[in-house]
Structure 1
Amino acid sequence: MFRKRQSFLVLTCLLISCLLVAACGNQKNTDTGEAANQAGQNNEKRDEMLIGVIPAQGSNQMELGADKLASLLAEKLGYNVRAEIYPDYNGVVEAMGAGKVQMSYLGPLTYVEAHERYDVRAIVTQLIGGKPFYYSYLIAPADSSYNTLDDVVKQAGNIRFAFGDISSTSGSLIPGIALKKAGVFKTQQEHQFKSVTYTGDHTSTALAIQNKMQDVGAIDSAYYNNLVKQGKIDGSKIKTIWQSEELFQYPWAVVNSISESDIQIIRETMLAITDADILNAFGGASGFIEANNEDYASIRQAAIADGRIKPRQ
């Protein structure tokens, strides 16, 4: 009787051991399968990338260059790439945050805002005359009596002032700071000017000054000079009355879901671009160069000083 019980206990222990081994094996296979599936998802080929472009020069002027850039990147990346010119600067930032746009052409201020909100990453910027810098200009009709920033401040009550897009670095942030320091501007509703208008882009600002619809306007130097070069603006009818310090050029930024290998392909492709349609669409660029977040430290500080973003704790 004792031997039967002993044999029964041994068989029971063996059975339990087998069941435990089988369960562990199944769990291991499941874990391995899930890991493999996850790895497959992480390495899955992207089907499409959308490039969001701010309307710095007006959408019509930028469309051809943006579309040609998208086609070139699609050829190199091996999947569909589209470009879309957004109606305003902030729209591109929000589209990146919503996952609709994976790569974007941003102004320095909009890049800083996008980086703070959504941790996007600058990878490339444009060169103008071989240098990655530009300026904010204040421009006026050539026969205007306003010749300096001091003239604008002293005669603010007679001046119809034009900014570009409210989120533009050269068309709003930098000249706005200068005018705030001079005590003649706080907001579109609170100022000492005859009127304050936001035109939406640099081309519209230049045309408004040329046609004397506005008296003084804030504009990107590179876009302004390119408009004159292309004959879209008559440079003899406009004068520059103020220039800011150097500003680092507009960045091309990507979201975190873009792989390092794709970023490298994008960089190598853009650094090799010589197509005039692409270069002219982005301020008359002479080429492209690598960029990173640190290049926009001064713009970040200006945005903090102007209350556009809050400093990180």
Structure 2
Amino acid sequence: MSKWFLGLLLTFLLVVVTACGGESASKTQEGSSANEGSENVVSGGDERSGWPDKFIFGLLPTEDQAELAKRYDPLIEYLEEYLGMDVELYNVANYTALIEAMANGHIHGSTFGPFSYLLAHERANGEAFAIPIRQEGGTLDDIFYYAQMITLEEHGVNSLEDIKGNSLAYADPASASGHLFPKAMLINELGLTMDNVDDFPSDVIFSGSHEASLYSVLNGDVKTAGVCSTCIERVFDRVKDHKNFDQLKVFHESAPIPGGPYVIQGDLPQSFKDKVKQAFLDMKDHEQGKKFLEENDYLGGYAEVGHEVYNVVQETAEALGLSPEDLLN
């Protein structure tokens, strides 16, 4: 009787263990499949996957830094709302530092001049994505500006030839309108070369910015300077009371130059890059965005732009025999 009962008990336990084991294995397999599916949904469906914690935007001090920060406050507020993240400005001293900051991941986006953009594209995988339009209802045809040579009437400088023996200020070594195009004008129109172009004036200095070059001329520190047409127009309200302002004149102007683009680091997630681009393209339709556009005279908002627009700048650099090292030094 006890043997029969013991055998029956063992059989019953075997059936229970087998059933429980099968059920446990089934649950484990189902659970694993569910987890895998959940991971795929989170990874593939999260549009913000891989986004930075905050958007860091680099700025070059083309004018007084306090004024620059004031102008960019509305942009920060707009982008923070549009992107749903903190936005921080990152100030640097020159284009070289700006490019290095992007290459090293310290900034995610910035504005560049046409030549410095070529370097950012080559060295930091920078991608041009937008460009400001100054005319309401404007198109890409309105993005061009000029390199201008300026002086005071009292110096009697009326042409490029008259720069000979007079002092000349450039803005930044990698500035298109503040250095490279003015230098190209001297080479192409006067028959100078890269070997002797800097010996043509009596003295050559780099002021650090277009506004600084303008003040250098107004204050009599130099007799001539190469500047960006739109850059100095933007600061006229601050310098129009200068005692020498009425003597200021443009004595030579370059061919049209495409404006500097807004650039984003190309290694960032595509969804993030697309969102940032769309933020700039949509800016004119948002109240806070309009404040920034109006403050900066970008009445047409932003237009989408690609690398191909800057082929003419690349060709100019090649014509001048300028390597990336030349542009940075």
Q: Do they fold alike, i.e. is TM over 0.5?
A: yes
Per-residue deviation at 1:233? 6.6
After superposition, where does 1:196-215 map in structure 2 within 5 Å? Answer: 196-215=204-223
- Counterpart of 1:162 (choices 165, 169, 184) is 169
1:234-261 deviation line (CA, Å, top 9, x unaligned): 5412110110011111211111213323
Per-residue deviation at 1:39? 4.3
Per-residue deviation at 1:289? 2.4
Q: Aligned to 2:155, what secondary structure does the other structure show?
A: coil
Per-residue deviation at 1:268? 1.4
| CA distance in 2: counterparts of 1:132 and 1:143, whole angstroms | 33
- 1:305 maps to 319
140-149 vs 187-196, which deviates more? Answer: 187-196
- 1:266 maps to 280
133-142 vs 39-48, which deviates more? Answer: 39-48
Letter of the 1:286 partner, please give it.
L
| CA distance in 1: counterparts of 2:36 and 2:131, whole angstroms | 44
| CA distance in 2: counterparts of 1:146 and 1:34, whole angstroms | 71
Letter of the 2:173 partner, please give it.
I
228-237 vs 172-181, which deviates more? Answer: 228-237
Contact 2:56 2:90 in 1 (8 A): yes
C-alpha distance 280-60 of structure 1, shift in aligned 2 (>3 A) = same
Q: Aligned to 1:150, what secondary structure does the other structure show?
A: helix
- 1:289 maps to 302
- 1:128 maps to 134
C-alpha distance 285-266 of structure 1, shift in aligned 2 (>3 A) = closer
1:197-243 deviation line (CA, Å, top 9, x unaligned): 00010110000001111011000001112222444575412110110
C-alpha distance 99-65 of structure 1, shift in aligned 2 (>3 A) = same
Relative to the length of structure 1, the TM-score reads: 0.78
C-alpha distance 99-187 of structure 1, shift in aligned 2 (>3 A) = farther
Per-residue deviation at 1:180? 2.8
Rg larger for: 2
Q: Aligned to 1:274, what secondary structure does the other structure show?
A: helix
Contact 2:58 2:92 in 1 (8 A): yes
Contact 1:128 1:287 in 2 (8 A): yes
C-alpha distance 94-170 of structure 1, shift in aligned 2 (>3 A) = same
Q: CA-atom RMSD, angstroms?
A: 3.1
- 1:140 maps to 151
C-alpha distance 51-228 of structure 1, shift in aligned 2 (>3 A) = same
| CA distance in 2: counterparts of 1:271 and 1:201, whole angstroms | 32
- 2:5 maps to none
Contact 1:126 1:287 in 2 (8 A): yes
| CA distance in 1: counterparts of 2:241 and 2:170, whole angstroms | 17
Contact 1:160 1:195 in 2 (8 A): yes
Per-residue deviation at 1:36? 6.7
Per-residue deviation at 1:166? 0.8
Aligned length: 281
| CA distance in 1: counterparts of 2:319 and 2:285, whole angstroms | 34
Per-residue deviation at 1:112? 1.4
| CA distance in 1: counterparts of 2:239 and 2:198, whole angstroms | 36
Letter of the 1:172 partner, please give it.
H
| CA distance in 1: counterparts of 2:65 and 2:285, whole angstroms | 24
C-alpha distance 108-271 of structure 1, shift in aligned 2 (>3 A) = farther
C-alpha distance 120-270 of structure 1, shift in aligned 2 (>3 A) = farther
Per-residue deviation at 1:55? 1.9
After superposition, where does 1:1-313 map in structure 2 within 5 Å? Answer: 39=44, 43-44=48-49, 45-129=51-135, 130=138, 131-152=142-163, 156=164, 158-181=165-188, 182-183=190-191, 186=194, 190-231=198-239, 234=242, 235-256=245-266, 257=268, 258-269=272-283, 273-275=289-291, 279-281=294-296, 284-290=297-303, 291-306=305-320, 307-309=322-324
| CA distance in 2: counterparts of 1:35 and 1:120, whole angstroms | 30
C-alpha distance 232-76 of structure 1, shift in aligned 2 (>3 A) = farther
What are structure 1's unaligned runs of at least 5 residues? 1-21
Per-residue deviation at 1:140? 0.4
| CA distance in 1: counterparts of 2:184 and 2:252, whole angstroms | 13
Relative to the length of structure 2, the TM-score reads: 0.75
What are structure 2's unaligned runs of at least 5 residues? 1-25
| CA distance in 2: counterparts of 1:168 and 1:298, whole angstroms | 15
| Percent of aligned pairs with the same amino acid | 21
